[in-house]
Amino acid sequence: MGNYTITVLPGDGIGREVTDQAVRVLQAIASRYGHSFTFHHALVGGAAIEAEGDAISDATMEQCQRSDAILFGAVGVPTKPGTNQQIKPERSLFRLRKGLEFFANLRPVRPFKALLNASSIKPEVLQGTDLIVVRELTGGLYYGHMEPGIPGKPSEIRETDKGYEAIDTLLYTEGEIERIVRTAFDIARGRQKKVTSVDKANVLSSSVLWRRVVDRVAADYPDIATEHLLVDACAMHLIRRPSNFDVIVTENLFGDILTDEASMLASSMGMLPSASLGTRKTEHGIFGLYEPIHGSAPDIAGQDKANPIAAILSAAMLLRHSLSLPREAEAVEAAVEACINEGYRTEDIQEEGKKKVGTQEMGQRIAAAV
Amino acid sequence: MGNYTITVLPGDGIGREVTDQAVRVLQAIASRYGHSFTFHHALVGGAAIEAEGDAISDATMEQCQRSDAILFGAVGVPTKPGTNQQIKPERSLFRLRKGLEFFANLRPVRPFKALLNASSIKPEVLQGTDLIVVRELTGGLYYGHMEPGIPGKPSEIRETDKGYEAIDTLLYTEGEIERIVRTAFDIARGRQKKVTSVDKANVLSSSVLWRRVVDRVAADYPDIATEHLLVDACAMHLIRRPSNFDVIVTENLFGDILTDEASMLASSMGMLPSASLGTRKTEHGIFGLYEPIHGSAPDIAGQDKANPIAAILSAAMLLRHSLSLPREAEAVEAAVEACINEGYRTEDIQEEGKKKVGTQEMGQRIAAAV
Ligand SMILES: CC(C)[C@H](C(=O)O)[C@@H](O)C(=O)O
Ligand SMILES: CC(C)[C@H](C(=O)O)[C@@H](O)C(=O)O
């Protein structure tokens, strides 16, 4: 029995709907296991730009800092005319990730047996797939972005005498690479003891350094099998032989692309949770941010169509990593699997002969199963 | 009846074996249609580094310039001890692409009906897939690479007082973006009239400029439907709804990753050809370089296991684009399809009940079918 503080940042579009269901499931956990969760809701993304003039306010950043964990929905919608169009909803994510140093983004992919047929990939190819992508989250081409005009590290559009040109900078320090790579090797120790490092070392200097650091760190983990794979080859092997992977570690943008692709192994983006972890420990566990890997999907927002499972499984990761409640995390995961096994399906994972439900009903059923 | 000069650069590993078969098929075309093809062979990649001290010599570059087209195999093998390890086999590709201004890399993906079951993706998902990726080939993160030390555009590893750091630069000018985007729209006119532009405009400045140029060019093509898709979403949709795409246009590295992924739609990398075209016209057509999208695969080199079809279909693209011989190109494509329909399969596309053949036999059978 414990007291925990969770900042809830639903964001835009379906972010709100799915986060509501994740909170509902956490409440079910609280009452079943006798915990007390205090939820602080705040705005991020387009909603925050419209109401508070920034994609995330300083007050919200401070609120996040004071909590044990952050439950995040999704951001990214066109804001109302009259709003400052220079501020992008995504800025909230970048500020949270960079400002709170969440450098390690964990994206596990383990398709549920009952969903093997719902994927566009053949069930016999999916069989046995259980991998986790460890994505670096605070370096690479994404930053530049936040610090325009920093010399030597530009991300900008500029006018020349031949018209416009645009530049982005991909920078990694040895230290940044080393900490994410060590995280991956540590995770592999508790799994199948295999690390696949993904880079583009035949083209990029940053990948050459990346590979060098991986080889150095690998020497400290003689019990772990290490392989290097080029990002293009990885994009192929992910759907050709997904069950061969255990832990995949890669830089920010490669991780972004590969995990969206990998979501197809689990049949839908609506199924994949993520945890973003840093170095800070709270009283209860590792301070972290938890979000579904899908976006705000404005096209289906407000229609009770979104799949809340990715958000709910993100809440399970929150219980495990930030609150150190593994039994409760497993209870959530088991409840999700039970509802899937009983045949409940949101639209994105619908198959013939299954019971189609909306966002709310799926959340209610999972909460009830807890 | 015409006289044509083709420079053949087999390169490393299976590059040599598959190029031999492509040449064999071109010879069959020459004798059937009464053309005269003069083939000049030269070294590239690891083979050239060992024999000539560079991944491609100046003499070979000049030979390429003097020909109507270049047939390229694959490069990339560890070179012998004692060879200069600073020179990478890939340098030959970068020098050819950049030096000869092959800015437009066309990678068509149209799975053969008889191979729909050989893919790891479900046949009902593949049904109707017929797309082409138009990849920008001379800009972005790849360059930097060739010009170390150019101010403002670094690609390097450097020592700082906190250890090493590495930097790569992603630069695009408006002009570079515009010419590849126009190429894509022109191609779409002869197809299903739909262009999907892929970028990461929620993060990269270069993508913001990219999107702006696409919108401007699109206004000149009111008959073409245009959509923007983020690269992460595209990696997902490519395997979820591949038949929705017609022409995909994207920058260099995104194109590299997405086409390797897309090769799975055609069941194997061994099936996908490519053409790299520039602005120069020869007497006969557009000067270009033709290569399978697969690599040198040192693990299976010299074992008569490689699939020569990607190289042979690249030769068909050569006939079409550089020699302006569309009927001959179709004859090659029909011969490939006939052999597939007769049940001949190399190892990578092998299925139960089909006739397994080696690299040479596949080449012979396709040449015979011409
Ligand atoms: C919204 C976007 C900036 C973000 C990213 O690219 O990191 C998203 O795609 C993700 O994967 O979390
Ligand atoms: C060999 C390598 C440098 C090359 C690339 O990345 O362009 C290859 O992957 C390709 O797609 O042609």
Residue A111 lies in a domain: no
Picking from B261, B268, B269 by the largest number of A CB atoms within 10 A of its own CB, the best residue to mutate is B261
Probe target for ligand 1 pocket from A143, A256, A293, A314, with the most ligand atoms within 8 Å of CB: A256
pLDDT-derived band of residue A1, with 50, 70 and 90 as boundaries?
A: low
pLDDT tens across B270-280, in order? 999 999 999 99
Greater model confidence, A149 or A188: A188
CA B92 / ligand 1 centre spacing (Å): 35
Q: What's the domain count of chain B?
A: 1
Residue A155 lies in a domain: yes
H or E segment and range at residue A145:
none
Phi, psi dihedral angles at A106 (to 5 degrees): -100, 125
**pLDDT of A161 strictly over 60:** yes
Rg (CA), chain A: 20
Same domain, A9 and A98: yes
Average pLDDT over residues B108-133: 96
Identify the domain containing residue A192 by its residue range.
120-266
Domain termination site, one of A212, A240, A266? A266
Residue A173 lies in a domain: yes
Average pLDDT over residues A215-238: 98
pLDDT given at position A242: 98
Q: Average pLDDT of chain B?
A: 95
Sequence-ordered alpha helix ranges (H) in chain B: 14-33, 46-52, 58-65, 91-99, 123-126, 174-189, 205-218, 231-240, 252-262, 309-321, 326-341, 359-369
Average pLDDT over residues B320-329: 98
Residue B101 lies in a domain: yes
Residue B8 lies in a domain: yes
Same domain, A202 and A292: no
Please choose, from the candidates B306, B265, B241, the residue with its C-alpha nearest in 3D space to the C-alpha of residue B18: B306
Same domain, A252 and A145: yes
Residue A129 lies in a domain: yes
b/e string for B328-362 if b means 16 or more Cβ within 10 A? bbebbbebbbebbeeebbbbbbeeeeeeebbbebb
Please choose, from the candidates B320, B252, B260, B317, the residue with its C-alpha nearest in 3D space to the C-alpha of residue B290: B317
Residue A15 lies in a domain: yes
pLDDT tens across B64-89, in order? 999 999 999 999 888 888 888 888 89
Residue A112 lies in a domain: no
Same domain, A30 and A130: no
* B304 interface with A at CB cutoff 8 Å: no
- Tell me which residue has its CA closest to atom 5 in ligand 1: A256
Give the active site residue among A193, A260, A354, A356.
A260
Same domain, A285 and A359: yes
Same domain, A256 and A291: no
Same domain, A219 and A275: no
- Measured between beta carbons, which residues in chain A are less than 8 angstroms from residue B274? none
pLDDT given at position A79: 83
Greater model confidence, A79 or B182: B182
Clarify whether A186 is annotated catalytic: no
Instruction: Give the global pTM.
Output: 0.96
Write the CATH number for B317: 3.40.718.10
Which has the minimum average pLDDT: A116-125, A159-168, B148-157, B308-317? B148-157
Rg (CA), chain B: 20
pLDDT tens across A310-351, in order? 999 999 999 999 999 999 999 999 999 999 999 999 999 998
Binary contact (B166, A210; C-beta < 8 A)? yes
Same domain, A256 and A274: no
Same domain, A186 and A65: no
Same domain, A140 and A234: yes
Query: Greatest CA span in chain B, whole angstroms?
Result: 68
